[in-house]
């Protein structure tokens, strides 16, 4: 029995993507070459770019392919920062992904940037009044505002349209890695300056993502070379991955509303069952407006790494917080930003349900949950006595 409940970490690749990937891998040619095979591959890449641009309502030239969501986020943060030498403040939320927080911290340490973190309210959304205030008082110092479209641990969708209004002419970037393909995401309508999407979270392959950047804007590159992507990102275009990215996205978005309803129903069923099987559980994730499949729960008196180990032994894959480079578990900064104590954050799990999960699977998880929590508590009690 293997039950995968970690779709927010990476989702299963879908058949459309595998077919596209396989077909494209047999095609010879560098999309930047002038000859026939090169042009043929270039056409496939541009078809994919076109398709993707329609799916997110952007212009094809606004899509800059990158090697990962992490790279796209780095490009946005560093690119906007270096692009405006007179502005050194970077505003993000306190619960951004590390792929946003860490480049900002790097710029603070090495490039004299100043980081301003927008706090999170109890409802799991950014504090808009704080943002208004910082823009009003220090607007002319801010190089970029980056607020994620939806949070990967809480599921909560952020008021990005409001952020754009507040920002005025300050560039706004949004990390839409978790939202794209799952909830409505319209680049044009949102009005952001830039957005990040990543293929492996929507059924596409690993190692391909994109920064959507408004036409006519320039960003200081972080990779220099052939200048393939608008002179902003260099590297031979990964045609098979790009084509598969578009195919996966098309499939995900064609089924988006049906999937949303189905996954959400599973989520609600899971939460309801969890409250029965572990009565003192508390739910941290957001119900609405939110991603359909994220459940984040605190199991008092446990440690998340024990819960994960025990679930893994039962064939169930979930996740918690993040880990340092040596793999040492760390309490989730997202939950701490939400106001949880370190020990509560440390006792929390994220279960992310996806389109391939079934009600029978949820039932199996609910059935083992009480014993898993009990054993994790035993382990905590004995080690806590010292």
Partner 1 sequence: MKLIAAMSGGVDSAVAAARAVEAGHEVIGVHLALSSNPQKYRSGARGCCTIEDSHDARRAADVIGIPFYIWDMAEEFHDGVVENFLSEYADGRTPNPCLRCNEKIKFAAVLDRAKGLGFDGVITGHYAQMQETPLGRVMHRAVDPGKDQSYVLAVLNTEQLAGAHFPLGDTVKDQVRVEAKRRGLYVANKPDSHDICFVPSGDNAGWLRDRLGSDVGPIVDEAGTKLGEHKGAYTYTIGQRRGLGITIPAAGGEPRYVLKIEPKTNTVVVGSHEALAVTKIVGDRPIWCGPTPTENAEFRGFAQVRAHGSPLACTYLQTGSEIKVDLDEPLFGLAAGQGLVIYDGDRVVGSATVAHTE
Residue 209 near which of partner 1, ligand PLP, none (CB within 5-8 Å, type-dependent): ligand PLP
Task: Show Cβ contacts of residue 319 under 8 Å, excluding neighbours closer than 6 positions.
Answer: 6, 8, 9, 308, 349, 350, 352
The string of DSSP letters for 244-312 reads HHHHHHHHHHHTHHHHHHHHHHHHHHHHHHHHHHSTT-EE-S--SSB-SSEEEEE-TT--HHHHHHHHH
Given a contact cutoff of 8 angstroms between Cβ atoms, the answer to whether 299 and 347 are in contact is: yes
| Angle, CA 185 vertex, CA 116 and CA 220 arms, to 5° | 50
Which residues bind to partner 1, rule: CB under 8 A?
305-306, 308-310, 312-313, 323-329, 375-383, 385-386
Among 74, 152, 158, 193, which residue sits at the site for ligand PLP (rule: CB under 6 A)?
A: 152
Given a contact cutoff of 8 angstroms between Cβ atoms, the answer to whether 55 and 46 are in contact is: no
Helix (H) or strand (E) holding 322: strand 322-323
Q: Is residue 97 at the binding interface for ligand PLP, with CB under 6 A as the rule? A: yes
Told to judge if 324 belongs to the known catalytic residues of this protein, a careful annotator would answer: yes
Taking the least distance from each CB to ligand PLP, the nearer of 69 and 240 is: 69
Residue 69 near which of partner 1, ligand PLP, none (CB within 5-8 Å, type-dependent): ligand PLP
Among 198, 259, 319, 357, which residue sits at the site for ligand PLP (rule: CB under 6 A)?
A: 198
The string of DSSP letters for 229-244 reads BTTTB-S---HHHHHH
Among 164, 177, 306, 368, which residue sits at the site for ligand PLP (rule: CB under 6 A)?
A: 177
State the minimum distance, in angstroms, from the CB of residue 281 to partner 1. Answer: 19
Of residues 221-260, those binding ligand PLP (CB under 6 A): none
Stretch that binds ligand PLP, among 157-165, 173-181, 233-241, 377-385 (CB under 6 A): 173-181
How far is residue 105 from each of residues 81, 98, 122, 164, 216, measured CA to CA in Å? 12, 10, 25, 23, 28
State the minimum distance, in angstroms, from the CB of residue 147 to ligand PLP. Answer: 11
How far is residue 146 from each of residues 180, 202, 339, measured CA to CA in Å? 16, 22, 21
- Active-site position among 1, 28, 136, 324: 324
State the minimum distance, in angstroms, from the CB of residue 109 to partner 1. Answer: 16
Taking the least distance from each CB to partner 1, the nearer of 209 and 308 is: 308
Residue 324 near which of partner 1, ligand PLP, none (CB within 5-8 Å, type-dependent): partner 1
- Residues with a catalytic annotation lie at 324
């Amino acid at each position: 029995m293997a039950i995968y409940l970690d779709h927010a970490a990476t989702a299963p690749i879908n058949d459309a993507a595998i077919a596209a990937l396989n077909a494209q891998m047999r095609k010879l040619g560098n999309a930047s070459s002038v000859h026939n095979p090169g042009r043929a591959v270039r056409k496939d890449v541009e078809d994919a770019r076109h398709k993707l641009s329609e799916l997110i309502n952007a212009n094809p030239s606004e899509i800059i392919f990158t090697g990962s969501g992490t790279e796209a986020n780095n490009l946005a943060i560093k690119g906007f920062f270096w692009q405006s030498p007179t502005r050194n403040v970077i505003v993000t939320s306190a619960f951004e992904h590390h792929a946003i927080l860490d480049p900002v911290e790097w710029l603070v340490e090495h490039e004299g940037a100043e980081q301003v973190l927008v706090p999170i309210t109890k409802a799991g959304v950014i504090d808009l009044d704080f943002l208004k205030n910082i823009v009003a008082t220090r607007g002319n110092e801010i190089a970029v505002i980056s607020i994620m479209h939806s949070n990967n641990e809480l599921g909560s969708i952020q008021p990005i349209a409001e952020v754009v209004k507040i920002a005025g002419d300050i560039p706004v970037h949004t990390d839409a890695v978790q939202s794209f393909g799952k909830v409505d995401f319209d680049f044009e309508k949102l009005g952001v300056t830039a957005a990040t999407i990543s293929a492996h979270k929507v059924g596409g392959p690993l190692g391909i993502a994109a920064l959507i950047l408004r036409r006519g804007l320039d960003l200081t590159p972080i990779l220099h070379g052939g200048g393939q992507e608008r002179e902003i990102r260099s590297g031979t275009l990964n045609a098979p991955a790009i084509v598969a990215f578009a195919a996966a996205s098309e499939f995900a978005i064609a089924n988006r509303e049906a999937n949303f309803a189905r996954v959400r129903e599973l989520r609600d069923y899971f939460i309801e069952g969890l409250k029965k099987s572990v009565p003192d559980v508390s739910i941290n994730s957001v119900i609405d407006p939110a991603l359909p499949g994220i459940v984040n729960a605190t199991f008092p008196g446990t440690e998340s790494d024990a819960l994960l180990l025990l679930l893994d032994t039962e064939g169930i894959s979930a996740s918690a917080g993040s880990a340092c480079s040596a793999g040492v578990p760390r309490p989730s900064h997202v939950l701490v930003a939400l106001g949880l104590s370190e020990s509560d954050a440390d006792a929390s799990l994220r279960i992310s349900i996806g389109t391939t999960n079934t009600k029978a699977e949820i039932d199996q998880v609910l059935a083992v949950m009480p014993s898993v929590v009990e054993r994790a508590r035993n382990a905590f009690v004995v080690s806590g006595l010292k």
